[in-house]
Structure 1
Amino acid sequence: MNKIYNYIKLTRPLNCLITALVVFVGGIISSQNNSFDRILILASIVAAIVAASGNVINDYFDIEIDKISHPDRPLAKGVIKSSNALWFYFFLNLIALFISYFLYLKLFAITILASAILFLYSFHIKKIPLIGNITVASLTAIAFLFGGLAVNNIKASVVPAVFAFMINLIRELVKDSEDIDGDKSDNVITFPIKYGFEKTKYLILALTIVLIIFTFYPFLIRSYRIEYFIIVMLVVNPLLIYSMKKLFDNDLKENFHRISIILKLNMLFGLIAIFLGK
């Protein structure tokens, strides 16, 4: 049982669940009658599996970094061999490709593209300041578009995709600030390492202000109902503002970690706001 638990932990199941929810909600809000079918469910499962494989290959390449930044992860702890993790990665990708093959051709193509990008990100792209962060944020946005495509209405998923891109770009920069010691030890040059905490914080602040302003857009153009506006105004935006306040408190790893968790939680509230407001 411990072995199975470690493999599940390696995939970061909460992140996979969030990815599946993003695709599912993206499909629901993009459908003409707010319903879902077999293809959307399978598309959500495919997205979760692809996310799982991406987490596995990321930890495979980041073993030395995680020994400092995330020593509790299975590969960093040594409870799973790196060779076994690599086979597990290939297995997950095969499952995702197999399922998506029987869906729309465009979904199959995006699955291949997303898997390739995740590999390239873990292998090299993540070492390029800001470009790596933009890549991860873009993949989250693609998840929304994936859901819209599953119900043949990708246009309706564009606004949620923009939200997903923005908040994930913010969170990626926070995570880089949290992992700065481990990244330095492995000679990974992230934005906080190259430009320092202060410039990183002001970039995060600027992106957050843009995101908060953009949250008004769907309501102003009457794309979403009042339920969306209420949740965004009472929960989502206050949490964003609180996160920014905490961001400037100190430069401790624990502080960045708390902010990262708050932002992840805020993604769920954002999904709820969009789902109820559509």
Structure 2
Amino acid sequence: MSATYFPSDEIVSRYRSRRTALAYVRLARPFTLVAPAMGMASGGVVAYFAEGDKFAASGWDFLKVLLLGTLAGALLNAASNALNQIFDLDIDRINKPDRVLCKGDISILGAGVFTGITGTLALMLAGVISTLTGHWGTLALFVAAALFSVFYSAPPFRMKSRAWWANLTVAVPRGTLLKVAGWSLAQSILSWEAWYIGLIMGIFLLGATTTKDFADARGDAAYGVKTLPVLYGARKAAKLVAPFLVLPFLLLPLAVGIGMTTGFHLLTGHPVDMTILGVICALWGAHIAARILSDPESLTNTENHPAWRHMYYLMIFIQIGFVLAYVPYGFYGQILSELT
């Protein structure tokens, strides 16, 4: 005798499938994927309009590589997010109990499979890009960034628990290497300009990374994870990271000044635009630093504190700012004329 079929069974099945899919989206933490995707895209556009030899024979060839690179950057960061949640599960049960692994919406195995798939896809796309450009830089930088993610989260390295080393393990791949990987979409990574821009982002993240650690201090301390807020307390940690939110951006007007006085141009974008960008970002960073220093204890009580959000918005702003500082003024008019 066959089992009776109820239409509601299919509805329940679809609901569960949709709920599972949404859980994996939450595991990836989509909001945090915006900055790395924009970092890749911004780095590529900057390299395309900067002085130097370009890989792409045409704008359309570059656009294809740019889209692949942007997707690869987002996928690699999704893999990193998932990997970190796997190894931080016990800590997250204290700090972030609403996360999908803590609630049991996804199993550890499922999260591991997700990490493997997204990480592999990111590296495959990087390999495709290196094949299309005929340059090894993109794949090499993605492999290096992936290794940094493993070193940060997974034993026996577990750099996350080692104070400044934790910050460095985040700043290098997500700040410096990501920006240079974007550059590699259009030009060789053997470029002073690429690494100078990457240095600015890396120094910024060396301090800015700590803004997310304040709210996690209770759980981190319980499991021996020595972030700066755990090691030094909220007030001293705030004082330590504040300079990193301001000083890196002054490297932009510094590079402009060096170019004007010596003729050696570290950056080949519009000098006035880069100076303005550096000043705006330094002032914004000073505002973030002031908010942190005014009441550092409040950072330990609020996840996604306004200071952290400002830091993230600043990261997105500077990616857009770099593009505007490098795209020729006449380019926008050319696009408008072609569209009309």
TM-score by length of structure 1 reads: 0.91
| 2:46 corresponding residue in structure 1 | 29
> Is 2:102 the partner of 1:76?
yes
Name the SS for the 1:229 alignment partner: helix
Task: Please name the residue that 1:175 is paired with.
Answer: 212
Q: Residues 212 and 144 (structure 1 numbering): CA distance in 2 closer, same or farther, change over 3 Å?
A: closer
Equivalent residue of 2:163, what SS?
coil
Match of residue 238, structure 1, among 274, 279, 283: 283
Q: Which runs of 5+ in 2 are unaligned?
A: 1-17, 52-58, 131-135, 261-266, 327-340
Distance (Å, rounded) in 1 between the aligned partners of 2:89 and 2:115: 15
CA contact (8 A) 2:76 2:122 kept: yes
2:45 and 2:194 map into 1 onto residues whose CA distance is 9
Whole-angstrom CA distance in 2 between matches of 1:114 and 1:268:
20
Deviation per CA, 1:169-197: give whole Å up to 9, x if none: 22212222221111012221112212222
In the other structure, the counterpart of 2:338 is: none
Taking the TM superposition and a 5 Å limit, the aligned residue runs for 1:28-107 are 28-32=45-49, 36-104=62-130, 105-107=136-138
Correspondence for 1:203 = 240
Judge conservation of contact 1:231–1:269 (CA < 8 Å) in 2: no
Find the counterpart in structure 1 of residue 273 from structure 2: 227
Q: CA 1:255–1:246 in structure 2 vs 1: closer, same or farther (change >3 Å)?
A: farther
* Identical-pair percentage: 22
What CA distance in whole angstroms lies between the structure 1 residues aligned with 2:304 and 2:25? 25
CA shift, 1:255, in A, is: 8.4
The C-alpha deviation readout for 1:157-214, integer Å capped at 9, x for no partner, is 2232122112222221222222111101222111221222233122112323422432
Aligned partners of 1:238 and 1:110: how far apart in 2? 31
- State which of 167, 175, 185 in structure 2 corresponds to 1:133: 167
Residue 15 (structure 1) aligned with residue 52 (structure 2) = no
Distance of aligned partners of 1:214 and 1:255 in 2 relative to their CA distance in 1, 3 Å threshold: farther
Normalising by the residue count of structure 2, what TM-score does the alignment of the two structures yield? Answer: 0.75
Greater mean alpha carbon deviation, residues 169-178 or residues 121-130: 169-178
- Deviation of 1:149 (Å): 1.4
For the aligned residue pairs, the C-alpha RMSD in angstroms reads 2.1
How many pairs align? 277
Query: Which residue number in structure 1 is paired with residue 184 of structure 2?
Result: 149
Closer/same/farther in 2, CA of residues 210 and 232 from structure 1, 3 Å limit: closer
Alignment partner, residue 11 of structure 2? none
The one-character-per-residue Cα deviations of 1:139-169 (angstroms, maximum 9, x if unpaired) are 1210110011121243232232122112222
Is the contact made by 2:253 and 2:274 (CA closer than 8 Å) also made in structure 1?
no
Q: CA offsets, 1:29-87, max 9 Å, x none?
A: 11247953322321222121111100000011111111222222211222111111011
Report the Cα distance in structure 2 between the residues aligned to 1:91 and 1:73, rounded to whole angstroms: 20
Letter matched to residue 241 of structure 2? I
Residue 226 of structure 2 corresponds to residue 189 of structure 1? yes
Is residue 265 of structure 1 aligned with residue 313 of structure 2? yes
Contact residue 239 and residue 293 of structure 2 kept, 8 A: no
Amino acid at match of 1:204: V
> Contact 2:249–2:279 at 8 Å: present in 1 too?
no
- Matched-pair contact (CA < 8 Å) for 1:46–1:96: yes
Task: Tell me the CA shift for residue 256 of structure 1.
Answer: 7.2
Check if 1:217 corresponds to 2:262: no
Change (3 A) 1:103 1:212: closer
CA distance in 2, matches of 1:31, 1:213: 24
Deviations 1:71-110, CA, capped at 9 Å, x for gaps? 2221122211111101111111221222222232332232
The question of whether the paired residues in 1 share the 8 Å contact of 2:148 and 2:170 is answered with no
Q: What is the deviation of 1:231?
A: 4.3
Q: Secondary structure of the equivalent of 2:294? A: coil
**Corresponding residue for residue 200 of structure 2:** 163
Deviation digits for residues 1-50 of structure 1 (CA, Å, limit 9, x no counterpart): 22211111111112222111101111111124795332232122212111
| Counterpart code for 1:144 | K
CA distance in 2, matches of 1:62, 1:186: 10
Bigger radius of gyration, 1 or 2?
2
Does the residue aligned with 2:81 lie in a helix, a strand or coil? helix
Q: Which amino acid in 2 is paired with 1:37?
A: L
